[in-house]
Amino acid sequence: MKGIRHLSEPFKDPLYLVLLFFSISSFLSMVSCSKKAEQTPAFHATPYTIQIPLHFPPELNIPANNPMTVEGIALGRYLFYDGRLSGRPGPDSLMSCATCHIQEHSFVCGIDHPVFTGGHPFGLTGIPTSHYMLPMINLVWTNHGYLWNGMISEDNPLAGYRTLEDVVSIVIGMPEEIHGDTNRTKAMIRQIKGYPGLFNKAFGSSIVTEKNIARAIAQFVRTLISADSKFDRFMQGNVQLSGSELNGYVLFMTEQGGDCFHCHGGDGNPLFTTNLFYNNGKDAVFTDPYDRFSVTGNAADIGAYKAPTLRNLVFTAPYMHDGRFSTIDEVIDFYSSGLVWSPSISPLMHHIATGGVRLTPSQKADLKAFLLTFTDSTFVTNPAFSRPAKMPDE
Amino acid sequence: MFRIHKIIAFPVFLLILCSCAKHHSLEITPIPYGNIIFTFSHNVNGESLKFDTMLYQTSLGNNYQVTDLQYFISRVSLHAVKGKWHDITTDEGIHYIDSRNNYSCSWWVNDLLPSGSYDSVAFTFGLDEKQNTTDRFPNPPERDMAWPDILGGGYHYMKMNLKWKNDTMSQSLPFMFHLGIGQIYAANTVNPDSIIGFVQNHFRVSLPCKLDLSTGGYHQVMLLMNVDRWFDGQNAFDFSAYPNGIMQNQEGMFRACMNGKKAFSVTITN
């Protein structure tokens, strides 16, 4: 009885009751926390860190909801190269990203493509794409929107039109491209032996979803980094440029020379693009409904397109959004003397009064020699970017 | 047993109470510092700058329109009445402004500025020799201001991309009003091989104002640029005189910078 009295006495003390309440609450919350920790699924994909090459921007465009992982990239590589992404089993209905994005051409189809005549691809329906292809290089640094007109951008008010993941989803469905059907593609990939396991490793679920297909491919595409050209090695102090290349360098980087750097970067910007949009004086009249104006509604953007990277220029013909130039020489001739005035011509095309920058033949040769120092053969042969030796079901 | 509980419980409870009381006292203790936000506004003779429209005319009769206006200010400082000053240290005192980007037109300064009266705000237009180093800004948008190494390196102080037209012209022409490090050429050429020296064209701007920085809260310091001032004044700027731009024309950049010193004013919202 004495013991019982002792035990009950503290409960009559209000202070003790307050302290007891806090103690029980703390204990319960600790228990609840530890229980939550136990319930967290044991999914741990291996984080993948992009190594920033010397002089390249440290800021990367990787969305927080799709962090790079070794498993995600591996899955994305399979999907990038798997023609069954179209959701159709027939051998004449297979289409993958790699059908058009060919590594040896820096992931454009190339001007000499046996099917896509002149380098202009078309989808499974036979409908050609609105524009020719942009090289798929260093997209992890794209910061002003994807595609020639930058329509897919963080600024786009429409959800589903903002990220590289969105580009992948759109491309899979577009009649001008893979012309897939979400359900058919998911069903096709799901039934292929090996894929559910790869999805599980990459995303913690073996369920094949459109979102995770896009996430995986986007992760792989973000690894496609070109940073091993002669120019890169020159900037690192490892090689010297030839006399002609140096002359071209000066022309590239000076306002009264070729003045390429304002749109295409250079020292200070090794991406060789600002990723911005310019009407570079190709035409006087514009009929393309998919120029930059179609995105911004600003009349100053009529006829404007993204300045593409100049890296691996030698592999990426034809040039311009409409593929009008087949060779680098034609492009240089255009900027030298072929510019056409229009009300919306970019203010950066300040040589318009003379029709261009008026290079001499030797200057043109020097400029071309410099442009060719952006050639990165490692990029077009890197096995990590190529078709896997075996697909998941092989 | 119960006594032990009480002995432990009381000090713990008191500790909690003390800790709460301490936090509370932090909130009410006056801090002798104020905060400021810089905002940037761009106009043409008092009217807000409208882009891409041929609305403006220089004193020399050149009509012009502006497409892009991007620039750096640096070494920003506030000067107190008694000769003391405070150098802004946020972002190393450097701010990049893109007039088409609202985000860049507000600069929240983290510096705790001593309360009191200030009678001027000063800044360097562009970047000086110590701060204007190549690769300082590896990321866009500042990166896209890079000034070629062979022309002096570092960054453009300002990019004003515009078009102009006078009465004798049938169509407008682009003009790149770009400022940065100038070059001295050995001969009458613009060949970079003949560069014998560089000219630092940055300049200091000091704007009298009355800023009473009281404790707490934010005071707004609005820096206004009258775009037209770059072209008008004692060094009236004629676009036709520089058909190839001014990046490689020190005389043109000098003329522009002389005008630019009078392009700014300040408004304080206490």
Mark yes or no for CB contact A262/B176 under 8 Å: yes
Mark yes or no for CB contact A347/B162 under 8 Å: yes
**Which of B12, B144, B149 lies at the smallest CB-CB distance from A269?**
B144
| Parts of chain B with a pLDDT under 70 | 1-31, 216-217, 270
Give me the domain span that covers residue A341: 230-379
Residue A391 located in a structural domain: no
Of A123, A140, A143, A166, nearest to A220 by C-alpha is A140
CB pairs under 8 A between A and B: 114
Query: Per-residue confidence at A39, pLDDT binned at 50, 70, 90?
Result: low
Q: How far apart are CA B202 and CA B193, in angstroms?
A: 24
Q: Are residues A216 and A279 in the same domain?
A: no
Q: How far apart are CA A177 and CA A85, in angstroms?
A: 11
Name the domain boundary from A188, A205, A225: A225
Mark yes or no for CB contact A57/B174 under 8 Å: no
Q: Are residues A234 and A298 in the same domain?
A: yes
Question: What residues in B contact A4, CB-CB < 8 Å?
Answer: none
Q: How far apart are CA A317 and CA A332, in angstroms?
A: 13
Q: Write down the residue that tokens 């004013």 correspond to.
A: B265
Q: Are residues A197 and A253 in the same domain?
A: no
Name the domain boundary from A208, A225, A242: A225
The reply to whether A347 touches chain B by the CB within 8 Å rule is yes
The enclosing H or E element of A308 equals none
Residue A155 located in a structural domain: yes
The reply to whether B67 touches chain A by the CB within 8 Å rule is yes
Q: Which two tokens stand for residue A370?
A: 């410099």
Mark yes or no for CB contact A255/B5 under 8 Å: no
First-residue to last-residue Cα distance in chain B? 63
Q: Which two tokens stand for residue A265?
A: 């970067």
**Collapsed DSSP state (helix, strand, coil) of residue B195:** strand
Residue A149 located in a structural domain: yes
**What DSSP state is assigned to residue A19?**
H
Interior/surface letters B145-154, b for 16+ CB within 10 angstroms, e for the rest: bbbbbbbbbb
Share of chain A above pLDDT 70, in %: 89
Q: Are residues A221 and A235 in the same domain?
A: no
Residue A55 located in a structural domain: no
Q: Are residues A207 and A246 in the same domain?
A: no
Question: What pLDDT does A14 receive?
Answer: 55
| Whether B69 contacts B99, CB under 8 Å | yes
Q: How far apart are CA A391 and CA A58, in angstroms?
A: 34
Mark yes or no for CB contact A254/B190 under 8 Å: yes
**Digit-coded pLDDT (tens) for A57-90:** 999 999 999 999 999 999 999 999 999 999 988 8
The enclosing H or E element of A4 equals helix A2-8
Q: What is the CATH number of the domain that holds A338?
A: 1.10.760.10
Q: Are residues A246 and A170 in the same domain?
A: no
Q: Are residues A74 and A221 in the same domain?
A: yes
The reply to whether A9 touches chain B by the CB within 8 Å rule is yes
Q: How far is residue A6 CA from its own chain's centroid?
A: 73
Instruction: State the CB neighbour count (10 A cutoff) for residue A283.
Output: 16
Count of domains for chain A:
2
Write down the mean pLDDT value for chain A. 91
The torsion angles phi and psi of A314, rounded to 5 degrees, stand at -65, -25
Question: What pLDDT does A15 receive?
Answer: 53
Q: Are residues A221 and A256 in the same domain?
A: no
Mark yes or no for CB contact B1/A55 under 8 Å: no
Q: Average pLDDT in the A178-182 region? A: 86
Residue A205 located in a structural domain: yes
Q: How far is residue A100 CA from its own chain's centroid?
A: 15
Residue A74 located in a structural domain: yes
Q: Are residues A216 and A238 in the same domain?
A: no
Residue A322 located in a structural domain: yes
The torsion angles phi and psi of B126, rounded to 5 degrees, stand at 90, -150
**Digit-coded pLDDT (tens) for B160-184:** 999 999 999 999 999 999 999 999 9
Residue A297 located in a structural domain: yes
Of B236, B126, B102, B238, nearest to B178 by C-alpha is B126
- Residues in Cβ contact with A140 at an 8 Å cutoff, skipping those fewer than 6 apart: A50, A60, A61, A62, A222, A223, A225
Name the domain boundary from A225, A241, A264: A225
Q: Average pLDDT in the A279-296 region? A: 97
Q: Are residues A371 and A283 in the same domain?
A: yes
**Digit-coded pLDDT (tens) for A336-347:** 999 999 999 999
Q: Are residues A239 and A373 in the same domain?
A: yes
Instruction: State the CB neighbour count (10 A cutoff) for residue A205.
Output: 13
Question: What residues in A contact B176, CB-CB < 8 Å?
Answer: 255, 262, 347-348, 350
**Digit-coded pLDDT (tens) for B182-227:** 999 998 888 999 999 999 999 999 999 999 887 766 899 999 999 9
Of A99, A112, A74, nearest to A223 by C-alpha is A74
What is the ipTM for the molecules in this complex? 0.86
> Which residue on chain A is closest to B66 by alpha carbon?
A347
Q: Average pLDDT in the A322-327 region? A: 98
Distance from CA of A307 to the nearest CA of B (A): 13
Q: Are residues A238 and A374 in the same domain?
A: yes
